[in-house]
Amino acid sequence: QFLYFIGRIMVAAKPATKINHGRRKGATMRDVSAPKWIRAMAGHLKQSGKLFVPNCTELMKQSHGNQRAPENPDWYFYRAASVLRHVYIHPGTGYGGLGKAYAIKKNNGSRPEKTVKATRGLLHWVCRSLEGLK
């Protein structure tokens, strides 16, 4: 053991413990590729039937920069799984941060394109339906 002083306090340093550099046990969400995890989670959310899906999802656009609504009928489940992963990786993210994360480039015709945020009302509904899974 080594003794050293911090200010006027004497502290005994513990000997270094052996660090295991082998394989880690278990996997986290960062170890799995995002598209694979989102696809699997969306399938699980759809199969479980517990996720609240608003009636107007076939009419909603994901941003005012989009020209049409999504063509995939299961897009709400994919967006819910993606929001779930984003909030897990970046805790404390609000609707504004999620809107910025799902921002797209808006086509303005002959004018330059501009980045626009995603619709935060849709993200609000997604977060509320995910809270209902508790």
SS3 115: strand
CA distances for 38 relative to 7, 46, 85, 86, 105, angstroms: 52, 12, 8, 10, 23
Position 54 scores a pLDDT of 87
Question: Which residue would you say has higher pLDDT here, 12 or 60?
Answer: 60
Task: In whole angstroms, give the CA distance from residue 85 to residue 47.
Answer: 18
Rounded CA separation 96/20 (Å)? 40
pLDDT at 133: 83
pTM for the model stands at: 0.75
* 10 backbone dihedrals φ, ψ, rounded to 5°: -90, 130
Give per-residue pLDDT as tens, 84-98.
999 999 999 899 999
